[in-house]
Structure 1
Amino acid sequence: MPATWIFLIVLALAAIGYVLGRSRALASASGDSRNLHSLPSYYGSHVALYAAVPSLLLFGLWLIVQPVMIEHHVQKLIPETSYTSQGELNLLMSDVHRIANGLDYAVRNGTLGAQAARDLSTETSDIRAVLANSGVALGSDVSAPTLVAAKEYRALSVTGDSYRAIAVLALALAGLAFAVIKTNRDFRARNAVERVILSLLILAASLAILTTVGIVLSLVFNTIEFFKLYPAMDFFFGTTWSPSFGGGSQLGILPLFWGTFYISLIALAVAVPIGLFAAIYTSEYASPRIRGLAKPMLEILAGIPTIVYGLFALLTVGPSLMAVFGPGTGLGWMQGGTAVMTAGLVMGVMLIPFVSSLSDDIINSVPQSLRDGSLGLGATKSETIKQVVLPAALPGIVGAILLAASRAIGETMIVVLGAGAAARLSMNPFEAMTTVTAKIVSQLTGDADFASPEALVAFALGMTLFVITLCLNIFALWIVRKYREQYE
């Protein structure tokens, strides 16, 4: 049974349980809700939760565990002589998935019978031609071990899906029956429902924390594997970035870190003044009508996808800078449209709503009594803003700037399209450079062999970037908390 149908059936059982629980509670109270411990809706919600929550948790866990177990079992069917690295094994497993899905598609379309799909053999049939007749294209011929693995993968998936449907629906029915039997006029349904809701909230918070821990651990373990293959000193202090999957790679992070820092610095030089001045205007000078128009217009920039910003940098900003600083102008500072300045300017535009929105909220949070006191002492509006409002809001503004810096450091698409791919140490902002995030993408693009330092270096780069942005965020929060107390 498809997963969608299982989910819908569980929801339908929960809805039925709600009606049954509510009606049973009212029946036990002779139709008078005043005789119930809780409101009738709590009795219905109690049954619905018992029918839906345990079964959906099992359903979600099954969806995660089943593919992992099948993958692990099927990999054992592929002879070790068929591959020499984890990357080649991953490619073989991709072929297994493609063949298994192709057989499923052929059976569903009726071009291949279920028994014929199980009896397929590379000795009697051209598997590639059979699947091509069903509209499934394969890039290479199918070997016997790959076909066996694909058929086993398909059989285990069908069996697992059947057991999943039985287990989930049985648990939903059991939960529904248990809750309905337990329902009566004296049952404390409200307390039970609130306990279940609290447990779900704790589970949601735990999943968020565990996800973060999992991400960090995956980075840490792969970074350790990288440093077993490549010297840490050469990585952190090397001035040359020249990866080569054939060997002899130089993987120094300094050129990448310099490009990241340089582009982020230009972006902040654009975003901070414009965003801060915009925040001062909208919070202190603009009328409510103008503020209601200007603030949403500024925040529209935050909703533009970064790939659009990257295209804007590539097609508009880069050629415009070339027209001013290119070889044809006599200056010759800029040899191509992709440069640090191109990416920095566009990234700065992207960060303007980030800085302005946060700064506007922070400035508005300054107590009005401080403004009134300054104006009452004879200060002008501009003097009040400069000498009272901005100093009071400064910790929050600095925190917003540091958070914007973290956002700039982690940007990828604008850099890929606007800054180029050259890893170099240069002070010229009109030269092409690259960043840490751009190289993480390039090192993991294609059929990367995760046993090689050239692929594992992406995790070391990611871990370094994570530590830098984490430190910036912690520093921003420390500044906000330390200096905010002076004005509370």
Structure 2
Amino acid sequence: MTARPQRRRTAPGSPGFLRRSQSRWSERAVRVLLVAAALVSVLTTIGIVVALIPPAVEFFGKVDFGAFITGTDWSPLFEPPRFGVLPLVTATLVITVIALLVAVPLGLGAAVYLSEYAGHRVRGVFKPVLEVLAGIPTVVYGFFALRAITPFLQRSWPGGDPPEVFNALSAGFVMGIMIIPTIASLAEDSMAAVPRPLRDGAYALGSSRMQVSTRVVFPAALSGIVAAVVLGISRAIGETMIVAIAAGGRPNLTLNPLEGMQTMTAFIAAAGIGDLPTGSTGYQTIFAVGLLLFALTLVMNLISIRLVRRYREVYE
């Protein structure tokens, strides 16, 4: 029989023992830091909920929840006050849809080009330039929509009544430009993660580059693309400065994007800097609308998680 080699033990106090001990302590410290980083987001979410719920519950003790959700007149600071939030929700959805009509085709088109068509040099130039858009302050986008896009639409409108000074169309268009980098960058990363053999196999069968892009790479990266689009939706719903500057501050229940309207975030921004007495019903509307906005964002994230899990592709 061959004798089993005995494991060499490092005596306490020796250099090897100290190095191993230091390595274990560093691993524990890194683990603690990572757990703390993960807990920050969880605790932040809990803190937001804790801050929103008590004033919102007190508000709904005075205002009927059904009237709040289905009411068509929002004038909480007038006499008599009206608390129908539907105009704010409708404005938020209208501007978000316009933004998606701009951002999704352009963002996904940019992602396909950068992933499948652009060379290394072109990608090294185009991608940083595209991501510069994400670093522009949103207040700059808002003034760009008000001072450049709206006058252009008013001058070039083909017929009928031109857009108002404050309108949802220019706000949604500029918001779509703002979220293009979010969608394009995440979608391009998902496409770049698709294994090269899938592309090579499609090319070997005689497929064109467009066929490979749309029928092989795009379906394989669908989970990441869905996540990118949903993240863009969440950012559009939560955007404040663009809609506050370009869309106006008048609650208006309409689907006409040429008119001015007020979104949920714009109302929170306008009411939050006002002179509302703390504890008053008008002050509590901020928390009620904020809780509704939080719930909509949470629903969007849950839908995103479900879609990502459904269309996720795992490659070995």
Q: Would the TM-score normalized by the shorter structure come out above 0.5?
A: yes
* 1:290–1:35 CA distance, 2 compared to 1 (3 A): closer
Deviations 1:199-251 (A, max 9, x none): 45444443442222111111111211110111111110000111226x42111
Which amino acid is the alignment partner of residue 392 of structure 1?
A: A
Q: Does 1:354 align with 2:182?
A: yes
SS in 2 for 1:425: coil
Which amino acid is the alignment partner of residue 248 of structure 2?
A: G
Equivalent residue number for residue 148 of structure 2: 316
Equivalent residue number for residue 151 of structure 1: none
Equivalent residue number for residue 42 of structure 2: 209
Q: CA RMSD in A?
A: 2.2
Equivalent of residue 124 in structure 2, options 279, 283, 292: 292
Deviations 1:363-415 (A, max 9, x none): 11112111111111111111222221222222321221111011100000000
Equivalent residue number for residue 278 of structure 1: 110
SS in 1 for 2:221: helix
Equivalent residue number for residue 5 of structure 2: none
Equivalent residue number for residue 310 of structure 2: 482
Q: Is residue 250–residue 261 contact of structure 2 (8 Å, CA) maintained in 1?
A: yes
Q: Does 1:221 align with 2:54?
A: yes
- TM-score (norm: length of structure 2): 0.89
> What is the rounded CA distance, in whole Å, between the counterparts of 2:29 and 2:112 in structure 1?
47
Equivalent residue number for residue 75 of structure 2: 242
Q: Does 1:38 align with 2:18?
A: yes
Which amino acid is the alignment partner of residue 225 of structure 1?
A: E
Q: Does 1:435 align with 2:285?
A: no
Q: Does 1:260 align with 2:92?
A: yes
> What is the rounded CA distance, in whole Å, between the counterparts of 2:73 and 2:107 in structure 1?
36
Q: Is residue 72–residue 84 contact of structure 2 (8 Å, CA) maintained in 1?
A: yes
Identity of aligned residues (%): 45
Shift of 1:259: 0.4
Q: Is residue 363–residue 390 contact of structure 1 (8 Å, CA) maintained in 2?
A: yes
> What is the rounded CA distance, in whole Å, between the counterparts of 2:309 and 2:159 in structure 1?
52
Shift of 1:308: 0.8
* 1:487–1:471 CA distance, 2 compared to 1 (3 A): farther
SS in 2 for 1:248: coil
Which amino acid is the alignment partner of residue 400 of structure 1?
A: A
Equivalent residue number for residue 333 of structure 1: 162
Equivalent residue number for residue 372 of structure 1: 200
> What is the rounded CA distance, in whole Å, between the counterparts of 1:376 and 1:204 in structure 2?
46
Which amino acid is the alignment partner of residue 376 of structure 1?
A: A
Where does 1:405-424 land on structure 2 (aligned, <5 Å)?
405-424=233-252
SS in 2 for 1:213: helix
Deviations 1:33-87 (A, max 9, x none): 9558425xx9xxxxxxxxxxxxxxxxxxxxxxxxxxxxxxxxxxxxxxxxxxxxx
Where does 1:135-146 land on structure 2 (aligned, <5 Å)?
none
Shift of 1:330: 5.5
SS in 2 for 1:449: coil
Which amino acid is the alignment partner of residue 302 of structure 1?
A: A
Structure 2 residues without counterparts, runs of 5 or longer? 1-12
Which amino acid is the alignment partner of residue 162 of structure 2?
A: W
Aligned length: 304
Deviations 1:159-213 (A, max 9, x none): xxxxxxxxxxxxxxxxxxxxxxxxxxxxx56655654554454444434422221
Which amino acid is the alignment partner of residue 389 of structure 1?
A: V
> What is the rounded CA distance, in whole Å, between the counterparts of 1:389 and 1:194 in structure 2?
38
- TM-score (norm: length of structure 1): 0.59
> What is the rounded CA distance, in whole Å, between the counterparts of 2:241 and 2:161 in structure 1?
27
Looking at CA atoms only, which structure, 1 or 2, has the larger radius of gyration? 1
> What is the rounded CA distance, in whole Å, between the counterparts of 1:192 and 1:372 in structure 2?
46
Structure 1 residues without counterparts, runs of 5 or longer? 1-32, 43-187
